[in-house]
Chains A and B, each alone.
Chain A
């Protein structure tokens, strides 16, 4: 969990490293399989807690044994050294040697928190003598599970933390990664209390991971394209925006040619991505087929609907959100587009309390509303629209320049058509 408090440019310790998960399942009994898998996790857990667990500071000769009384090499560093001093040992591009930097060459202080990267490793040597290896062969038709668990863990340290404090904290965080989300609810409650956070925003679920600035999103979707826009300033007006992260879903993505019929599906995908990325759900964003199947499953559509190119509307969006994500939504109806101008207060309230993207469908088009700029006194209103009809590549420049994500005025809507809006309600859990 990382709180980027800009008033204090502290240091973040980040440890990354793979843990090998391997086990043999010689039974198809679910309970036994579960036991074996649990035991393997337990083994990994104890590896991380063992004296063989080692953290090496990247680009430096500093190595720490966190479970051996936080033993550090080189000897100039002790467990009571201030953790921030590790920076001085990290080799930058300007330097050749792996030794301590001269104190004159301090790195520029930036307002962003600096990161000390660590690698998780295991010490493969021990003091001997130990017994020679044994080869065990099991011959039985079974299943073999093997995967690499990419451990990735962060703690934030203050300037007064010693290495001992910081690394003990880091190790706890790391070992908690070997427990599933559900087991950690108590832990999250404690953290919420500690940081005095609202009781109903899931800050600490896995999905709400801090996004490190130099990492790209691997799935290729743009995140929050609206953030690069300049928001309108209205007299006595305020801007109310979606809270959190969503991905931009639009026509032609994922090799699905839904040009002309898939706009509501894409808006729904954008909404689902919000719920996934805020950690409310773990399931991936549904495909068109999955959306259609959900509607068949709830009895809203016939079986032939799956695989068809039929449009859906806000009611269907509401039904799918309920079926696949267990999210309830409110429906707002306006009999004519011109009425939308008067919905400023409701929309503002929605973004304040729920903060979820809104799907709006009417006539022949569907869009996603990501925010509203509204003045209570003048009644002026603007809508932040994410347009699913875009068919191009994930080019932020194009998308924002051409208004595929942009602020629109009340005349954006067909003034005589009726509109239904689906306002997803945020589950009040942590």
Chain B
């Protein structure tokens, strides 16, 4: 029994357009969500044309996979690259090998970058779609990417309208606060990259094992995710994630004992701020644990992606590496911007905007990578604000001074200190907290 792909109507229109546009073969990606029973394809995007592909009939496998890697970064939780399509004049059987290679290459590249561990209930089948340019007939097969020897299995490909109209969304604003030492002898950006990745891995585990509340409640694992097929029911939910701190696990544990409290270092890297994370859920009776899994994965990948993007930039711009000595540098991670998929509302894709970029660079990337025509006005830039630099933050920290001296009654000890994410570090400079600590010991009265 093969898999069943429910495909948004607009995808049919898109593939038709691609058939008409040019000769030669056209490849692209199919994006959507898998579930154990069936898979949903919500949109498709062609591989951005390059000079080589326009000229000849060949398929640039490396570019297809690189395109997939970049597209994958632009998909919020719940959406992923489900597979690959190819439009040619040839017969389906002639493209099978190519498709198979593409599917495996894409999947391998994307999963090599993920920081979370695969789950038992993950669907590992990917779709390979062949479209015959002349007849417009589709030929759909799947490969199990977990099995390098897997063969093509037939699958259903059915168009439907309003596939995503009742999909739900769960989101949260996740705080990030990491401090990691850089080894004594290696403070170059490559090593910083490695150290950060290691820390992010640990952080990913922390998030994965954290407690997830949806709308303030801890739902039982098998409970259905609220929302679903009724059109009028509210479909957006807020999640909270509770985590337990974990010990610093350093790169090269062979070299350093885990339990070491004090170590020499050549510097440190810190990452503080917050990210907006979201995940979309299909409306076919999804489970609460799916919502949790998809949201957590999105949280981890949005942070990892941005760190990766920043480090890629730093590695290419070498100026500051040469100077030595005390050296503090601050870099703002890009903030997340969402763009709705017109044909698949309410779903959105996303992109990251660096503070020195303009919005039109975002719309250009959306066009190039996802073949989306968006205006600046279509974009949702309200979820995150660009990172602010430190000077402004310290000035805007009044919460320190409003901490009151403890009064004899118990109640007022509670909760007057608000920690904003970047405030955690500016707290360090406040003498008010030190005073509070010493005062407590002397004035406590039961």
Contacts and interface: CB of A to CB of B under 8 A. Distances in A.
A, B assembled together: yes
Nearest to B261: A147
B247 A20 contact: yes
B98 interface: no
Contact of B211 (A63, A169, A194): A63
B266 A139 contact: yes
B275 interface: yes
A168 B444 CA distance: 14
Nearest to A19: B245
Contact of A183 (B336, B386, B441): B441
Interface string B368-402: 00000000000000111111111000000000000
A234 interface: no
A133 B274 contact: yes
Interface string B163-176: 00000000011111
Interface string A183-223: 11011001100100000000000000000000000000000
Interface in B203-222: 207, 210-211, 213, 216-218, 220
A133 B218 contact: no
A133 B276 contact: no
A131 B427 contact: no
A103 interface: no
Interface string B401-421: 000000000110111111111
Interface stretch (A3-11, A38-46, A289-297): A38-46
B434 A42 contact: yes
Contacts of B176: 133
A121 B242 contact: yes
Contacts of A40: 428
Nearest to A21: B261
Contacts of A169: 410
Nearest to B176: A133
SS class, residues of chain B in contact with chain A: mixed
B437 interface: yes
A50 B220 contact: no
Interface string A64-77: 00111100011100
Q: Which of A97, A169, A187 is packed against the most chain B CB atoms within 10 Å? A: A187
Contacts of B418: 50-51
B273 A179 contact: no
A125 B174 contact: yes
A145 B261 CA distance: 6
B437 A42 contact: yes
Contact of B424 (A43, A63, A120): A43
Interface string B298-324: 000001001100100000000000001
Given A137-B269, A143-B265, A168 B411 contact: yes
Q: Which of B217, B246, B265, B413 is packed against the most chain A CB atoms within 10 Å? A: B265
A140 interface: yes
B161 interface: no
Nearest to B239: A125
A127 B181 CA distance: 30
Interface in A141-194: 141-148, 168-169, 171-172, 175-176, 178-179, 183-184, 186-187, 190-191, 194
Contacts of A176: 440, 444
B313 to A, nearest CB: 11
B274 A128 contact: yes
Contact of B187 (A47, A68, A139): A139
Given A125-B175, A140-B325, A135 B330 contact: yes
A194 B307 CA distance: 54
A50 B417 CA distance: 6
A133 B264 contact: no
Contact of B415 (A26, A51, A135): A51
Contacts of A17: 244-245
Interface residues of B, number: 98
A172 B243 CA distance: 21
B371 to A, nearest CB: 27
B1 interface: no
Nearest to B383: A129
A18 B437 contact: no
Contact of B441 (A66, A121, A184): A184
Interface in B171-209: 172-176, 179, 181-182, 184, 187, 192, 207
Interface string B250-281: 00000000000111111111111111100000
Contact of A186 (B266, B336, B444): B444
A26 B438 CA distance: 25
B34 interface: no
A123 B240 contact: yes
B442 A186 contact: yes
A143 B274 contact: no
A393 to B, nearest CB: 27
Contacts of A123: 240-242
Contacts, number: 296
A423 to B, nearest CB: 36
A137 B329 contact: yes
Contacts of B386: 131-132
A136 B330 contact: yes
B444 A143 contact: no
A143 B248 contact: no
B242 A20 contact: no
Given A50-B415, A125-B175, A132 B243 contact: no
Contacts of A129: 173, 276, 382-385
B56 interface: no
A61 to B, nearest CB: 5
Contacts of B261: 145-147
A132 B385 CA distance: 6
A130 interface: yes
A56 interface: yes
A283 B416 CA distance: 37
A134 B330 contact: yes
A138 interface: yes
A22 B310 CA distance: 24
A253 interface: no
B173 A130 contact: yes
B213 A73 contact: yes
A137 B245 contact: no
B213 A56 contact: no
A67 B241 contact: no
A121 B243 contact: yes
A190 B445 contact: yes
Nearest to B382: A129
Given A138-B326, A140-B266, 8 more contacts: A43-B433, A75-B217, A120-B244, A121-B244, A124-B210, A130-B175, A133-B272, A139-B266
16 contacts: A42-B428, A49-B414, A63-B213, A122-B243, A124-B175, A131-B273, A131-B421, A134-B273, A135-B307, A136-B270, A137-B331, A141-B264, A143-B264, A146-B248, A184-B441, A191-B446
Interface of B: 172-176, 179, 181-182, 184, 187, 192, 207, 210-211, 213, 216-218, 220, 238-248, 261-276, 303, 306-307, 310, 324-336, 382-390, 410-411, 413-422, 424, 427-428, 433-434, 436-438, 440-442, 444-446
Interface of A: 17-20, 22-24, 26, 38-43, 45-47, 49-52, 54, 56, 61, 63, 66-69, 73-75, 97-99, 119-148, 168-169, 171-172, 175-176, 178-179, 183-184, 186-187, 190-191, 194
Q: List 7 tightest A-B contacts by C-beta distance, closest first.
A: A133-B273, A128-B173, A67-B415, A130-B274, A144-B181, A132-B335, A139-B327
